[in-house]
Chain A
């Protein structure tokens, strides 16, 4: 049961669902969202009429095609949901921020069962017009690219390659060490039937891969996909009698101590992840050593490096030796990492895939990729000025 924490044990996870995941599925974002949502609701032993809250990232109005598969109101409308509380947000604690807000809602009694979803169709969007041509087709630079676009730095790969380079310079991280994030993801993806890339990846292949933005190569970048994930966040008292052991949300990391930029942070070798992680640990008596399995955002491999040290699994600057050889982070290691293949090999479900996989692992339904019998899972989403974290337990 509860060890205290911000929600005093009142916020629990009771179900999780994932849609079909793949490349160029040609299905709409709303279809995928509905599929994941209905699966999550059924997984929790509920019906749509039990769902009285809905939350999602990022919500409507995002210009990038494929980035937002459905808004909260689109899903509410499609399923005819009667909502006592709802929210979508992008300026929040990463892509899992709305899941954290759902915990607040149920802990305060504003809702009993909140459906939290994230859906993307970036693969189909790119295949049917291309993200780049949408962004730059009219030559107009969107405001968020004002300070980088004129210099050809239009991708997060560019923005993250620079701190990665500086981290390598300051702390001696090598490409081989960084490569273990990608290799670990691929070997786990091989055991996940839903993963996009499942063929084995060797260190030689990683090191020989073409560079995207040095020092980041192709395999340091996640793979755009189509797919949706959903979880059910419930008020503990409302979860009585449901089929699954409820997973307690022990703590959440929501902090951001500096300006939300990719390049002005005081220490270039830390990110907002460090602030989010600091607030996660200040709200719980659990410690990093209590964590049995970690699902840490890997939109770029280097972001997993950031989260590993931010969350205190190793000291600042020491991630290289921590991941080297890949044994510690393997399914049978001391800290199984990104057990579904992450976004690097599993597909870019954009943050919520990590929360989904943490639930799967705690419920011990990982199949071939099950990492023992974990009791505590750490989940983190986001990179650069985007960061949120959650700590879940099953007791």
Chain B
């Protein structure tokens, strides 16, 4: 397995008032996920209200950055010329709240070793003023993970 190399291009988000924390928290090394200060639950995507208890007392908080693969796919189709396949797209459920899933890439993992339940940890890839959260296997669980 080759170590992960960043693609020439990623399609970058245009952060909104709600999503800016998520896309920029990586500058401080933080995975910022919205959390309700009334009921304590985390939720994603970010919104100005908690969809569970409807409290308006919500905001981004640093999550541990640990999670598990809830579902995954190896994309084989070239959609973006400067981001060639194959690459692993996964729904990562965060350790704090399994109902919260982040779609991301899991890298430094042989494609055939992707599995539901695999433990992963976040790292960030900077693109100008955007810090893209990506995941790689937690080292102990993945031989040859490169880290």
Interface residue ranges, A against B (CB under 8 Å): 132, 136, 139-141, 143, 145-155, 157-158, 161-163, 165-166, 169, 210-216, 259, 261, 263-264, 266, 268
Interface size of B in residues (CB-CB distance below 8 Å): 38
In the assembled complex, how far is the CB of residue A142 from the closest CB belonging to chain B, in whole angstroms? 9
Whether the pair A214, B87 counts as a contact (CB closer than 8 A) is no
Whether the pair A268, B91 counts as a contact (CB closer than 8 A) is yes
A142 vs B101: C-alpha distance when bound (angstroms): 21
In the complex where A152-B80, A154-B79, A162-B89 touch, is A261 in contact with B73 (Cβ < 8 A)?
A: no
Measured between beta carbons, the chain B residues less than 8 angstroms from A140 are: 14
Residue of B with least CB distance to A152? B83
Whether the pair A154, B103 counts as a contact (CB closer than 8 A) is no
A139 vs B99: C-alpha distance when bound (angstroms): 31
Whether the pair B74, A211 counts as a contact (CB closer than 8 A) is yes
Whether the pair B89, A141 counts as a contact (CB closer than 8 A) is no
Whether the pair B75, A264 counts as a contact (CB closer than 8 A) is no
Whether the pair A166, B71 counts as a contact (CB closer than 8 A) is yes
The verdict on B120 contacting chain A, using a C-beta distance below 8 Å, is: no
The verdict on B19 contacting chain A, using a C-beta distance below 8 Å, is: yes
In the complex where A166-B70, A211-B76, A212-B77 touch, is A153 in contact with B12 (Cβ < 8 A)?
A: no
Whether the pair B75, A158 counts as a contact (CB closer than 8 A) is yes
Residue of A with least CB distance to B103? A148
| 15 pairs from A and B in contact (CB 8 Å cutoff) | A136-B80, A143-B14, A146-B19, A147-B102, A151-B10, A151-B103, A151-B105, A151-B134, A152-B7, A162-B73, A163-B71, A210-B76, A213-B73, A259-B51, A268-B71
A215 vs B75: C-alpha distance when bound (angstroms): 9
Measured between beta carbons, the chain A residues less than 8 angstroms from B142 are: none
Whether the pair B77, A213 counts as a contact (CB closer than 8 A) is yes
Whether the pair A158, B71 counts as a contact (CB closer than 8 A) is no
How many cross-chain pairs have Cβ atoms below 8 Å apart between A and B? Answer: 116
Contact indicator per residue, chain B 72-99, by CB within 8 Å of chain A (1) or not (0): 1111110110010101011100000001
In the assembled complex, how far is the CB of residue A303 from the closest CB belonging to chain B, in whole angstroms? 15
The verdict on B29 contacting chain A, using a C-beta distance below 8 Å, is: no
Which of A143, A151, A154 has the most CB atoms of chain B within a 10 A radius of its CB?
Answer: A151
Whether the pair A152, B75 counts as a contact (CB closer than 8 A) is yes
Whether the pair A151, B76 counts as a contact (CB closer than 8 A) is no
Whether the pair A266, B104 counts as a contact (CB closer than 8 A) is no
Residue of B with least CB distance to A214? B74
A150 vs B10: C-alpha distance when bound (angstroms): 5
Measured between beta carbons, the chain B residues less than 8 angstroms from A150 are: 10-13, 130, 132
Whether the pair B101, A152 counts as a contact (CB closer than 8 A) is no
A216 vs B74: C-alpha distance when bound (angstroms): 10
Residue of B with least CB distance to A170? B116
The verdict on B63 contacting chain A, using a C-beta distance below 8 Å, is: no
Kindly identify, within residues 27 to 82 of chain B, every residue whose CB is under 8 Å from any CB belonging to chain A.
44-45, 51, 70-77, 79-80
Measured between beta carbons, the chain B residues less than 8 angstroms from A132 are: 79-80
In the assembled complex, how far is the CB of residue B114 from the closest CB belonging to chain A, in whole angstroms? 9
A157 vs B74: C-alpha distance when bound (angstroms): 11
Measured between beta carbons, the chain A residues less than 8 angstroms from B138 are: none
In the assembled complex, how far is the CB of residue A283 from the closest CB belonging to chain B, in whole angstroms? 26
Measured between beta carbons, the chain A residues less than 8 angstroms from B74 are: 211, 213-214
Measured between beta carbons, the chain A residues less than 8 angstroms from B71 are: 162-163, 165-166, 169, 268
A158 vs B130: C-alpha distance when bound (angstroms): 23
In the assembled complex, how far is the CB of residue A150 from the closest CB belonging to chain B, in whole angstroms? 5
A146 vs B19: C-alpha distance when bound (angstroms): 9
Whether the pair A264, B100 counts as a contact (CB closer than 8 A) is yes
Other CB < 8 Å A-B pairs besides A147-B102, A165-B116, 5 of them?
A151-B89, A153-B75, A153-B89, A158-B73, A214-B76
Residue of B with least CB distance to A221? B77
Measured between beta carbons, the chain B residues less than 8 angstroms from A166 are: 70-71, 116
Measured between beta carbons, the chain A residues less than 8 angstroms from B89 are: 148, 151-153, 158, 161-162, 213
Residue of A with least CB distance to B130? A150
Whether the pair A153, B83 counts as a contact (CB closer than 8 A) is no
Identify B73's interface contact among A139, A165, A268, CB under 8 A: A165
A151 vs B130: C-alpha distance when bound (angstroms): 13
Whether the pair A261, B45 counts as a contact (CB closer than 8 A) is yes
Identify A268's interface contact among B70, B79, B83, CB under 8 A: B70
A119 vs B11: C-alpha distance when bound (angstroms): 30
A139 vs B56: C-alpha distance when bound (angstroms): 34
Residue of B with least CB distance to A261? B45
